[in-house]
Amino acid sequence: MNITKEQIDDLNAVVTVAVSKEDYQKNVDGILQNYRKQANIPGFRKGQVPIGLIRQQYGKAVLVDEVNKLLQDSLNTYLKEEKLDVLGNPLPRLKEDFDWDQEPLAFEFELGLAPSFDVKLKTRKSITHFQIKADKKEVDQQMERIQKQYGKLISKNEVTKEDEVTGSFRNAEEEIEHKTTFEVSQVAAKKAASTLVGAKPGDIVKLKTKGLFKETYQLAGNLGVAADKAEKLNVEVDFEIEEVNHREAAELNQELFDKIFGPDQIHSEQEMRDKIVADSEAQFVQQSDQKLLNDITERLIEQCDFKLPNDFLKKWIQASSEEPISDDQAKEEYEKSEKGIRYQLIEAKIIDEHGLSVSQEELIDFAKGFMKSQMAQYGHMNPSEEELSSLSMRILGNPEEAKRLSQQLMSQKLLELYKKEANLKVKEVSYENFIKEAYGS
C-alpha cells in the first residue's frame, strides 16, 4: 500500500491511497472459502460448491467490503502518524466508472485542514464581568413572597385588589378549558382588573386575553396554552370564579424561621435577610458566569480572524446529512454552524496550550455535586456518600450523560482560566440592572 498527499493550499489537501492485491487478497480468499463451506446451492453438496462459482457470485462484494475496511484503517493511521489536524472527515472523490479490476486500486480523498492561528486571552477591549448584588428592594420582595407563601389563607365572598382568585378560563373556539389560581395584582389590564374587583364565587366574568397579564408566560400558564399561542392570542374568554382568598402574611417569628431554614438556623429578621442575600447572590453567580462565558466566546471569535476550508466543509455537511440536501441547503447549514466551528477550534487550542484536562476522579466528584444539587431540589438535603457514589456511577455509565458532564466541567475550568487571564472589568449591579445592561430589557 502506498499513501501520498498533494497539498492544494494551506487549508485543503488530497490524499491518494494505492491498494495492491497483496494488501487485500488473502482476506478476500479467506472469506470466500468460508462462504464456500456454508453455501447451499442446488446441484452441489454443502461445502463442495466450486470456488470459481463462489467467486463469481460474491467475489466483487467481498472485495469492495474488504478494501473499504482497509482504506478506513490505513487512512486513520496515516492521519495520526502525519499529525494532520483535519476538519470533519476525509471525503472520497467518487468515480462512476471506477474499475475494480485495475491494479493497483487508487482512491483519492479530499481533506479540509484546520487553520493555524494564535489565541490571546488578553483581549484588546476589556470585557465586563458583572457581580450581581441583592439590593434592598429585591430582599423586601423575597421576604414578602415568603411571608405570603407561609401565611394564612382566609376565604372571602368578594374579590378585592389584594386577593387571589381560583377559577376556570374557557373559550370553546380556542379549546381553552383550564383551572388556575392567580393574584388580582398580577392582572395588567386595568379594565380586566376592575371587572374582577367586586365579583363573587359563582360569577362568570368576560376578559380580553390581549394584555391581560404583564408577561406572556403568565398568560400561557393561566390559560393552559403554549407560549407561542399565548403571544398571538387576542380573544375574549369566560372566567368562572370558584374561590376568593386573601393571604394574610405570616409573622416573622421563630416558628417561621425553623419551618423555612430548619431548627435553630435563623433567629431574627436580620439573619433571615442576610440568608436571603447570601442565597440570592450565590444563584446570581451562575447567571453572571454564563454571561461572562458568552461574552468571552464572542470576543475571541471576533478577535481570532482565520480562514476555514469553506467549500470543503459545505461538501462535508452535504455528504454527512442523513437526508439528501441541495448545495443551497448545505450552504445555509454551514453559515449557521460556522461560528460554532470557529469557537470549537479556538477552545481546543486554549485547552491544549494551557494543559486543561478532565480526570476520571474529577468527573466523579463533579457528578456527585450535580446529583447532590438535584436531590436538594426535591428536599433530600443530606444524601449519604454511598447514595451519591451509586447515583454518580449510574449516570456516568450513560456515555451521553458522561460526555455532557465532562463538557460542563471543562467549561468551568475554562471559565476559571478566563477569570485569571482575560482582560476583565468588574462591575457591581443589582439583578434588575444586570438584566437591563446584559440583555437590554
Output DSSP code: residue 250.
Answer: P
Contact by Cβ (8 Å): 410, 354: no
User: Looking at the predicted structure, is the pLDDT value of residue 155 above 80?
Assistant: yes
User: Looking at the predicted structure, is the pLDDT value of residue 440 above 70?
Assistant: yes
- Cα–Cα nearest to 111, from 82, 137, 134: 82
Mean pLDDT of 406-424: 95
Q: What are phi and psi of 380, to 5 degrees?
A: -90, 90
User: Looking at the predicted structure, is the pLDDT value of residue 125 above 70?
Assistant: yes
395: cell is: 449516570
User: Looking at the predicted structure, is the pLDDT value of residue 318 above 70?
Assistant: yes
- Cα–Cα nearest to 13, from 67, 96, 122, 87: 87
State the pLDDT confidence band at 377, using cuts at 50, 70 and 90: low
Q: Which carries the bigger pLDDT value, residue 171 or residue 383?
A: 171
Q: Which carries the bigger pLDDT value, residue 383 or residue 396?
A: 396
Mean pLDDT of 82-86: 93
Count Cβ neighbours within 10 Å for each residue of 221-257 and write b for 16 or more, e otherwise: bbbebeeeebeebeeebebebeebbebeebebeeebb
- Which long-range contacts does 368-376 make (Cβ < 8 Å, 24+ apart)? 368/392, 370/395, 370/405, 370/408, 371/395
Segments of 270-371 assigned E as strands: none
- In this predicted model, what pLDDT tens digit does every residue of 224-259 receive, in sequence order? 999 889 999 999 999 999 999 998 899 999 999 988
State the pLDDT confidence band at 381, using cuts at 50, 70 and 90: low
State the pLDDT confidence band at 441, using cuts at 50, 70 and 90: low
Quote the pLDDT of residue 269.
Answer: 92
User: Looking at the predicted structure, is the pLDDT value of residue 91 above 80?
Assistant: yes
Domain covering 152-248, topology: Chitinase A; domain 3 (3.10.50)
Beta bridge partners, 140, equal: none
Coil, helix or strand at residue 300? helix
CATH number of 2-113: 3.30.70.1050
Count Cβ neighbours within 10 Å for each residue of 374-403 and write b for 16 or more, e otherwise: ebeeeeeeebeeeebeebbeebbeeeeeee
Q: Which carries the bigger pLDDT value, residue 47 or residue 263?
A: 263
User: Looking at the predicted structure, is the pLDDT value of residue 425 above 90?
Assistant: yes
State the pLDDT confidence band at 57, using cuts at 50, 70 and 90: confident
- Cα–Cα nearest to 241, from 280, 269, 203, 288: 203
Dist. CA 187–CA 150, nearest whole Å: 23
Quote the pLDDT of residue 43.
Answer: 75
Dist. CA 253–CA 62, nearest whole Å: 82
Quote the pLDDT of residue 404.
Answer: 94
Q: Which carries the bigger pLDDT value, residue 148 or residue 9?
A: 9
User: Looking at the predicted structure, is the pLDDT value of residue 109 above 90?
Assistant: yes
Cα 278-282-288 angle, rounded to 5 deg? 135
- Cα–Cα nearest to 245, from 145, 180, 163: 163
State the pLDDT confidence band at 157, using cuts at 50, 70 and 90: very high
User: Where are the domains positioned within the chain?
Assistant: 2-113, 152-248, 267-306+354-439
State the pLDDT confidence band at 375, using cuts at 50, 70 and 90: confident
Mean pLDDT for the chain?
A: 91
pTM of this structure: 0.70
Mean pLDDT of 193-211: 95
At 439, the amino acid letter reads Y
Dist. CA 395–CA 418, nearest whole Å: 29
Element (H, E) at 367: helix 360-377
Quote the pLDDT of residue 190.
Answer: 93
Mean pLDDT of 393-414: 94
User: Looking at the predicted structure, is the pLDDT value of residue 416 above 90?
Assistant: yes
Output DSSP code: residue 186.
Answer: G
Q: What are phi and psi of 154, to 5 degrees?
A: -115, 120
Quote the pLDDT of residue 400.
Answer: 93
User: Looking at the predicted structure, is the pLDDT value of residue 363 above 90?
Assistant: yes
User: Looking at the predicted structure, is the pLDDT value of residue 353 above 80?
Assistant: yes
Dist. CA 433–CA 145, nearest whole Å: 21
Contact by Cβ (8 Å): 39, 85: no
